[in-house]
Homo-oligomer: A and B are copies of this chain.
Amino acid sequence: MGKARLEAFSDGVLAVAITLLVLDLHVDPSGEESLGAQLRHEWPSFAAYLLSFSIIGVIWVNHHALFALATRVDRALLFYNLLLLMWVTTIPFTTSTLASFLRSGGSDTRWAVVLYGVSMEGMGVSFTLILAYMLRHQLMARPVSQAESKAAVRRYGLGTLVYPSVMLVGLVWPIAMLVVYGGMVLYYIAEQTPILPSETEAAADGT
């Protein structure tokens, strides 16, 4: 089974989800506040927009890099990929919820933070499942040693522990969570580790 349509459908869902985020930005020309004041009060919407756009963007880059390594896909992988896309499509909702509770500033903000964290965690876990499945079923373009497999899955598996930890920070101080997530995105953009370690590194790691 070819991977072209899996990639095309995923690109479609990611493109729609990343663009729908903009529907949560709006100002009211008939409001009593000036436009400048409205934009200032709406800062959580803009911050959440920027963060969620970046996170979906990073997911797309990861998805691109991962499936570039695949030669073929099977039926089960289509469903693992749908699981990832399901979490991605929840992001416009959790982003909008987070922004509106940050704006209103009530005590429930921390539950909005948890909700946002859950959709991030769902994505992280799904992505790790896809990677592990592809490695276990040898869907990769080149043979991958067990040591390499382990190193790659461990790396992404560790990532799935980071999201809940950051969420704990957010329970106490929501804005700090936005900042840490933002830092994680910047770190990810800057770092260059490929999804699969080179064979030399893997050999060193596996001893």
Are B18's CB and A15's CB within 8 A? no
Q: How distant is A144 from chain B, measured CB to nearest CB, in Å?
A: 19
Which of A89-97, A130-138, A150-158, A173-181 sits within the interface? Answer: A89-97
CA distance A121 to B160 in the complex (A): 37
Chain B nearest CB: distance from A47 CB in Å? 14
Chain B residues closer than 8 Å to A54, beta-carbon distance: 82
A179 to B22 alpha-carbon distance, docked (Å)? 26
**Docked-complex contact B64 and A29, CB < 8 angstroms:** no
Instruction: Digitize A76-88: 1 where CB-to-B-CB distance is under 8 Å, 0 elsewhere.
Output: 0011001001100
A115 to B19, CA, bound (A): 18
As a 0/1 sequence over residues 1 to 33 of chain A, the CB contacts with chain B under 8 angstroms (1 = contact) are 110011111011111111111110111011000
Of chain B, the residue at the smallest CB distance from A14 is B9
Copy total for this chain: 4
Nearest CB on B from A172, distance (A): 17
Pick from B21, B25, B75, B86: contact of A53, CB under 8 Å: B86
CB contacts (< 8 Å) of A8 on chain B: these are: 7-8, 11
Counting CB contacts under 8 A, is A189 at the interface?
Answer: yes
In chain A, residues 149-194, which have Cβ atoms closer than 8 Å to a Cβ of chain B? 189, 192
Tell me which of B22, B64, B106 contacts A5 (CB under 8 A). Answer: B64
- Take A9-B14, A15-B13 as given contacts and tell me if A101 and B61 are in contact as well, using a CB distance cutoff of 8 Å: no
Closest B residue to A9 using CB positions: B11
Q: Is A104 among interface residues, defined by CB-CB distance under 8 A? A: yes
Expressed in whole angstroms, the Cα–Cα distance for A60 and B13 within the complex equals: 12
